[in-house]
Amino acid sequence: MTETLLWYRMFVSRKGGPPWESCRKASLPGLRTTDSAVRRPQVDLRRTNLMSVVAKVKFADYETSVAKALDLIKAAGRLPQTGLVIIKPNLTNADPPPVTTNVKAVEAVYNFCKSNSKANIAIGEGCGEGITIDTFKANGYTKLAEKFGIRLIDFNEEKAIVLKSKNTLQLKQLYIPEIVKDAFIISLPVLKDHCFTATTIAMKNMFGIAPAPFYRGSWNKSKLHSPSTHKSVVDICLYKKPDLCLVDASVALAGMHLSGESIKLGLILAGFDAVAVDAVGSKLLGHNPKKIQYLTLANNVLGSLDNIKILHG
């Protein structure tokens, strides 16, 4: 049994896997792809000096708190009025919250978008474990979709294109679903610790857009963890960063992203800068954001660790 597979089985055993500090790096074979390439312009790495705003709202209920957080950052004025909005929850598997995003949080975001945007709205995910459609059903997303007529998108099954860049850290090309390329993406994760990246929040949640058929190894997306999960987080966001981030920190998961300890923080976070949102979330879990590699790599490239203004609500 490979070292990576051994660790993965420990993770999914639900016996409280190792804390992230002691989790070894995955050693996985290289990526091989065969589909035709679609080139895109080089990623813009220019530094921004703009202050990043992050809403930090006390949790009452999803409808009230989500709307308040999004109002604080004036999200209504930034939503597109045409095209496609995709709400991207964290549904790594079929486990209930807080391992996965509560369907009530997604419903609240959907209602906000529906009230403030004329764009089409869908929910999309590509599970890292199991079958996405089964996960949608197990967590109430199928019923939500039927209630409102929302399209559910399985990123693992969608037609894929390949993006290329010389400016990434290790993923010189990335397969993504074609439908994702021009969509407005709302990253909607649960606040959690992670064994490879210290935390998994808005940026790490974007792993879900990478179709499993191109990155499957010991588990659905295992090839994205080699040689560095941190660099893959940054690269995926360089290709397609979230346009809006909302984090369910009402109940966080500490110690492990699949079998950690549930901690009631009673908060909702929101912002347009994924780096800033992840920095604020990481502090809530007791981490120093400047000691988390994916955040330091993304600092002043994808967002800011330093120029953050927190709006309390």
∠ CA(292), CA(296), CA(301), 5° rounding? 145
pLDDT at 49: 54
The model's pTM is: 0.85
Place of tokens 């690269």: 235
- Domains along the chain with CATH numbers: 49-312 (3.40.50)
Question: How sure is the predictor about 258, in pLDDT bands with cuts at 50, 70 and 90?
Answer: low
Report residue 308 as tokens. 């953050």
Question: CA–CA separation, 304 vs 300, rounded Å?
Answer: 5
Report the percent of the chain where pLDDT is more than 70: 83
Q: pLDDT category, 39, cuts 50, 70, 90?
A: very low
Average pLDDT over residues 209-219: 88
Give the pLDDT confidence score for residue 276 in this predicted structure.
98
Spatial contact of 265 and 285, defined as CB atoms under 8 Å apart: no
pLDDT at 30 over 80: no
Residue 271 pLDDT > 70, yes or no?
yes
In whole angstroms, give the CA distance from residue 105 to residue 191: 13
Report DSSP letters for 235-292, one per residue: HHHHHS--SEEEEEEEEEEES-TTT-EEEEEEEEEEES-HHHHHHHHHHHTT--GGG-
Q: How confident is the model at residue 268 (pLDDT cuts 50, 70, 90)?
A: very high
List the single range of 33-37, 64-68, 216-220, 256-260 with lowest mean pLDDT.
Answer: 33-37
Residue 97 DSSP one-character state: T
Note the pLDDT tens digit of each residue in 40-95: 333 343 444 578 999 999 999 999 999 999 999 999 999 999 999 999 999 988 89
Mean pLDDT lowest among 51-55, 67-71, 221-225, 292-296: 221-225
Q: Is pLDDT at 290 greater than 60 in this prediction?
A: yes
Residue 38: pLDDT band with limits 50, 70, 90: very low
pLDDT surpasses 80 at 14: no
Kindly report, residue by residue over 137-194, the tens digit of the pLDDT. Answer: 999 999 999 999 999 999 999 999 999 999 999 999 999 999 999 999 999 999 999 8
Structure tokens that stand for 236 in this block: 């995926």
